[in-house]
Structure 1
Amino acid sequence: MKVKIESSKLVKPFYEGNPQPPTTYTPLSVFDKVTYDQHEAAIYAFKPPTPSNATIELGLRKALAAYSEWAGRLGRDDDGEPIILLNDEGVRFVEASVDHPLTETVNFQLSPTLLSLHPGLEGVVELFQVQVTRFSCGSMVVGFTIHHFVADGCATRNFLVAWGEACRGLGISPLPFHDRKIFSPRNPPKFEFEHRGVEYITKNLEKVFSLVDNSVEDIMIHKVHYSKEFLSKLKFRASSMNGTNKPFSTFESLVAHL
């Protein structure tokens, strides 16, 4: 599969007339400091019709206004502690194309060829990167990488939902909670559970294969298909417990179920 890069640029938050937040940086929580210092990647495929790249980019800029950490950079404060600089340096936005239909070029089995559908993971200064790849059939693949210091799986899901809402011209709800000081250790410390021998273990991992090694094909993949009827019942059941709030989406209901 030959992926042609059409453009690559930095995209910055769009505050829509609202002033930029005065905060200059966000400290990392104790959990952030012990998690993986690396980017994680994911790809999503969409059948036509799909929104234009301009719509996707504008929605991204609006979402970044609420998730300003994503457009920042890693740094250190005066005490040498790691922080996220809220400098609006921007995220990497790549537009690409493939001169073949999606179904003929990508089978979505775990393969090194999928690495060309998202930006690279090594030597990255941006905390969030996006690649929008268009196929000749009209399908679209959105691949992205996010630094684990900025977001975990739950936060990434919330951002993707916010991005989609912004692309559709909707308000972002719920807004993210940025105060990581809620995870500050108690003073004096109070140890109720033994964590040091469980979560905080020194990592002695040996790299056994490269990201582009064919050995990744040995990894097993399990696929589960749910009927529309099951998903409808699941969504109804989840939303019925949500009180007067708006119903959960099918995606939210399924993820909670899993």
Structure 2
Amino acid sequence: MSVVVSKSSPVTTTIKLSSFDKGLERMPAAALLVFEHLIHETTETIKRALSQALVHYYPFAGRMVAGADGDDAGHIHCSGEGAVFVAASASCAVEEVIASDHSPASRSKALREDLAVRYPGESCGPADPLLVVQVTEFSCGGFVLGVAWNHAVADGAGMAQFLQAIGELARGLPSPSVAPVRRDDSLPSLPAVVPIDKLLSLDPFDDLAYLDFTVPSSAIRRIRTSAAASAASHAPFSTPSAPSCGGAAPGTRAVMSDPEAPAVLFFSANERRHVGAKQGYYGNCVTAQLVTEKSGAVAGGDVVELAKKIRDAKET
């Protein structure tokens, strides 16, 4: 079942894309949230909460208008056309979604690909909804909330804030605990993305190996515990820093042929605190960061020191 969920109160306005948003108008993003137990009337409760959340986060119910080539007029048209809501069911256990088998032919991988609606051609068009929410109920009693959205509307932190609002409204709160802000004209212009230039300058670029990896929560806790027990001068490590270095070391060991060759970690950093974004801002506010180290140092070095390098890169 697929329906369009519109916001309750019409607001017609436009929101100009910031320098952080530009270039993302056609880029889709997606996230899956897995829950082991159903809530009361799961699908209807989430659908109702989504409709309520769109009153506060009304840009998600609009459409994207891209500027012409060389034009600076790209914007979100808050037309109230609505977001898409999809209800689905699966006759299997939710554990299959989180199975560790990532091979192309695995059932768990195929199942995960059906848990969020994908944009045609993996690209967002001007007529496409800015938000698609899918709830899949499993026979075991669990459910998965799959979300796909136009990346120009929100980054990962912004989407997390929006999903938190849906959860709060589903639990009966009268309004989200964080008042959302989408327009923030005080944001600075985004400078040229220097880390990408550095990445492209590596020689030979074709020899870089691209890896996806999964870091268990137990490994993240172990890394953070080790960091906390190290020198007192170390500032606290964020949760993203731990999985970054947790995957970098084994990944580098798997492909390393020359310990002197560069090992490159390319990641996004939340810049809200550094650029003075308003409280509750959910638009894009990330920059690309790059950490480069010798392969031998990454593969056999101290994981806490590697985490420190990642943290320092995020702070600069």
For normalisation by structure 2, the TM-score amounts to 0.56
The sequence identity of aligned pairs, in percent, is: 29
Q: Which has the higher contact order (CA 8 A, sep 6+)?
A: 1
User: Structure 1 residues 184 and 81, CA, compared in 2 at 3 Å: closer, same or farther?
Assistant: farther
Tell me how far apart the structure 1 counterparts of residues 216 and 82 of structure 2 sit (CA, whole Å).
Answer: 36
> For residues 162-209 of structure 1, what are the alpha-carbon distances to aligned partners after superposition, in whole Å with 9 as ceiling and x for unaligned?
111111111212111122322265xxxxxxx9x4361675x99xxxxx
Q: How does 1:1-258 map to 2 (within 5 A)?
A: 7-15=1-9, 20-21=10-11, 23-35=12-24, 37-52=26-41, 53-76=43-66, 81-104=73-96, 107=99, 109-110=101-102, 111-122=109-120, 124=124, 125-170=128-173, 171-183=175-187, 185=189, 195-196=191-192, 198=194, 219-225=212-218
Higher helix share: 2
Q: Is the 8 A contact 1:27 1:180 kept in 2?
A: no
Counterpart of 1:143 in structure 2: which amino acid?
A: G
Structure 1 stretches lacking a partner, 5+ long: 1-6, 186-192, 205-215, 232-253
For normalisation by structure 1, the TM-score amounts to 0.68
CA RMSD of aligned residues (A): 3.4
Tell me how far apart the structure 2 counterparts of residues 24 and 73 of structure 1 sit (CA, whole Å).
Answer: 11
Q: Is the 8 A contact 2:6 2:81 kept in 1?
A: yes
- Count residues in correspondence: 204
Structure 2 stretches lacking a partner, 5+ long: 103-108, 201-209, 226-237, 243-316
Counterpart of 1:113 in structure 2: which amino acid?
A: L
> Comparing 125-134 with 26-35, which one deviates more in the overlay?
26-35
Counterpart of 2:85 in structure 1: which amino acid?
A: F
Tell me how far apart the structure 1 counterparts of residues 49 and 61 of structure 2 sit (CA, whole Å).
Answer: 14
SS at match of 2:192: coil
Tell me how far apart the structure 2 counterparts of residues 180 and 104 of structure 1 sit (CA, whole Å).
Answer: 42
